[in-house]
Amino acid sequence: MTRYLLSVHSVAGGPPRPPMSEEEMRRSHQRLAEIEKEMESSGAWVFSGRLHEPDTATVVRESGGEVVTTDGPFAESKEHLGGFYIIEAADLDAALGWASKVTACINVPIEVRPFSAYADEPQV
């Protein structure tokens, strides 16, 4: 099994999605919970998380031998990471299947990338 990162992307200031009614929002959240439960019961789900808006980010970097922190996202961009899933899948097609279910539910792009040289035990 390979571990994949499913990155859920949003575009700030992009074309707005049509607003959802309370009932549509409830159904969307319910469907997403069902997909996540399906991931978990199939053994694909490892971890997931939703992130606050990019303006809540703090970047830590080394500069001139000192550690410097700055407020805001690392990259000034309209696109940002809104959340992620880490899953285990037999192959890319299986990972794309999970990404397809999630993107159909939440209507935002999802990038699928395998982890490099992943093993169940850390590489030394």
Cβ contact 12:100 at 8 Å: no
Report yes or no on 69 lying in a domain.
no
Apex CA 41: angle with CA 106 and CA 113, to 5°?
A: 55
Q: Looking at the predicted structure, is the pLDDT value of residue 124 above 50?
A: no
Tokens of 63: 């500069």
Domain span including residue 32? 2-11+20-51+77-114
> How many structural domains comprise the chain?
1
Q: For 56-112, what is each residue's pLDDT tens digit? A: 888 898 999 999 898 877 767 677 888 999 999 999 999 999 999 999 988 888 999
pLDDT category, 13, cuts 50, 70, 90?
A: low
DSSP state letters, the chain: -EEEEEEEEEETTSPPPPPPPHHHHHHHHHHHHHHHHHHHHHT-EEEEEE---GGG-EEEEEETTEEEEEES-SS--SEEEEEEEEEEESSHHHHHHHHHHHHHHH-S-EEEEEPTT--SS---
CATH number of the domain bearing residue 36: 3.30.70.1060
Q: For 20-60, what is each residue's pLDDT tens digit? A: 788 988 998 899 999 999 999 999 999 999 888 878 888 89
